[in-house]
């Protein structure tokens, strides 16, 4: 089936540094999403993105977070600066339409020290 | 508050048997998606439903928006069905999915 890729699979950084998580969505999809899952907790929505704009974001999407997809390349989540509580697995997803099956990537495991 | 309540949290099945997982919703949802997380942590799509039922092989899912629940039935369980199953639902108001807490299924010989 359709595949979403995420790069890197793991990332360890020091608190205060910047990190960029990359997502390669399904090629013809138009809607993109980031989710966050802290170890032992539920998966939680961060943000969705369509036509170059953030459509909706949750309270977890702090001011230090930003997303973009320049010219159809990777859909990225940037955290600047990082904090200890940002340690989690971040999942990217994409869908063809807004109310449609979402396809998830394997996640990026981020550890902030 | 939490909008998706998933049960059971863990389930053990012998090969060849079956069972049902359930998600109850505290608000009206317009669609639900079911996933299985495999051993590598990837989320595998199983179903997306806006209403009614869908069946795929040994899996069958139902969604009742009015009664606020969805189920995933597994029959003739196989060892490779082991994994954690999640439901995720879209509320009528809002566009993003709320996830359940997952059901860890272990199929044993």
pLDDT at A96 over 80: yes
Handedness of CA A35, B92, B7, B103 (dihedral sign): negative
Superfamily for the B4-108 domain? Immunoglobulins (2.60.40.10)
Give contacts of B 2-41 with A, CB under 8 A. 30-31, 33, 35, 40-41
Cα–Cα dist A22/A107, whole Å: 10
Banded pLDDT at A50 (limits 50, 70, 90):
very high
Residues B16-67: tens digit of each pLDDT: 999 999 999 999 999 999 999 987 788 899 999 999 999 999 999 999 999 9
Q: Tell me what the mean pLDDT of segment A9-21 comes to.
A: 97
Q: Which of A42, A48, A103 sits opposite B95 (nearest CB)?
A: A48
Handedness of CA A3, A10, B85, B22 (dihedral sign): negative
The domain segmentation of chain B, as residue ranges, is: 4-108
What mean pLDDT, rounded, does chain A reach? 94
User: In chain B, what residues touch A98 (CB-CB under 8 Å)?
Assistant: 95
Cα–Cα dist A69/A77, whole Å: 9
The answer to whether the CB of A107 falls within 8 A of the CB of A79 is no
For chain A, list the domains and their CATH numbers. Answer: 5-112 (2.60.40.10)
Shortest CA distance to A66 belongs to which of A19, A4, A14? A19
Handedness of CA B71, A99, A37, B41 (dihedral sign): positive
Cα–Cα dist B87/B64, whole Å: 14
Banded pLDDT at B93 (limits 50, 70, 90):
confident
Contact (CB<8Å) B48/A101 = yes
Shortest CA distance to A76 belongs to which of A38, A19, A16? A19
């Amino acid at each position: 089936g359709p595949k979403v890729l995420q790069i890197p699979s793991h990332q360890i950084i020091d608190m205060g540094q910047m990190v960029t998580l990359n997502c390669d969505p399904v090629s013809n999809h138009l809607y993109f999403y980031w989710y966050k899952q802290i170890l032992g907790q539920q998966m939680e929505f961060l943000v969705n993105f369509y036509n170059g704009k953030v459509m909706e974001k949750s309270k977890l999407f702090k001011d230090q977070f930003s997303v973009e997809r320049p010219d159809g390349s990777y859909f990225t989540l940037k955290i600047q600066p990082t904090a200890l509580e940002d340690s989690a697995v971040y999942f990217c997803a994409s869908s063809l339409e807004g109310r449609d099956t979402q396809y998830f990537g394997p996640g990026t495991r981020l550890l902030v020290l | 508050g939490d909008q998706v309540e998933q049960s059971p949290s863990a389930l053990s099945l012998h090969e060849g048997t079956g069972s049902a997982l359930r998600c109850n919703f505290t608000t009206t949802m317009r669609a639900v998606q079911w996933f299985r997380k495999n051993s590598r942590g990837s989320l595998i799509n199983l179903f997306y439903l806006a209403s009614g039922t869908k069946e795929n092989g040994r899996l069958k899912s139902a969604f009742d928006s009015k009664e606020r629940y969805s189920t995933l039935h597994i029959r003739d369980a196989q060892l490779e069905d082991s994994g954690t199953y999640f439901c995720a639902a879209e509320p009528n108001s809002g566009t993003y999915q709320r996830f359940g807490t997952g059901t860890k299924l272990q199929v044993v010989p």
